[in-house]
Amino acid sequence: MSDRQTLEVYTEAAQAYADGFARADDSFHDPDFEAFTSLLPAGARILDLGCGPGHWAARFKAKGFEVSAMDASAGMAALAKSDFGIDVEVAAFEALESGNGFDGVWANFSLLHAPRADLPGHLARIHRALNPGGIFHIGMKLGDSEGRDKLGRFYAYYSEDELKNLLKDAGFSVTRSRRGNGQGLAGGVETYVILTAHG
């Protein structure tokens, strides 16, 4: 994510976001966390891509995994460091390099801020950053358009089938999907999909 307006919103709302999500009872995503981590070997290398305030990275670390974290928002990175001791690489999705040797990549509602035209390239980069057979988790909101929410953040929406086809084109095999409804920072309730895939 490198959209300046979106980053400015997250910088201004970083503390409110952390209070509402990172420090809240996020148990409704526990099945997704377990589905992802259960497929990884002990001590696996995980990248939390678009880590926000670091709460998921902290959970991976507490479970004994080797964790790297990346986010384009310096404000979010600062919170991840102060609240959880997570060192975050402040960088856009495009900075992800091939051959990183990750066993798993967790992109939980982060890639939805990338333009639709850019998503195939991001998925290809993630596939190249994973070890063969590596595990990829992606959370996205369902829809068929792109644009800004009332806070000014840029979003791209997809159907579940469209996402599955994009993942297949990037070399992934989807093994799990789950839909749900959640309330975000802007206050609205939206339908989302969680996909787990093998590289």
pLDDT of residue 116: 95
Q: Could you tell me what percentage of the chain is helix, strand and coil, using 3-state DSSP and rounding each to the nearest 5?
A: 40, 30, 30
Across the range 76-103, mean pLDDT stands at 91
pLDDT band at residue 14, thresholds of 50, 70 and 90?
Answer: very low
Across the range 18-43, mean pLDDT stands at 78
pLDDT of residue 7: 57
Return the higher-pLDDT residue of 112 and 3.
112
**Which of 6-10, 24-28, 124-128 is modeled with the greatest confidence?**
124-128
Measured distance CA(103)–CA(100) in Å, rounded: 9
What DSSP letter does each residue of 68-91 carry, written as one string? Answer: EEEES-HHHHHHHHHHH---EEE-
Fold of 4-92+103-132+139-198: Rossmann fold (3.40.50)
pLDDT band at residue 115, thresholds of 50, 70 and 90?
Answer: very high
**Which of 66-70, 81-85, 100-104 is modeled with the greatest confidence?**
66-70
Across the range 22-40, mean pLDDT stands at 81
What is the per-residue pLDDT across 43-58, written as a single tens digit (0 to 9) for each?
999 999 999 899 999 9
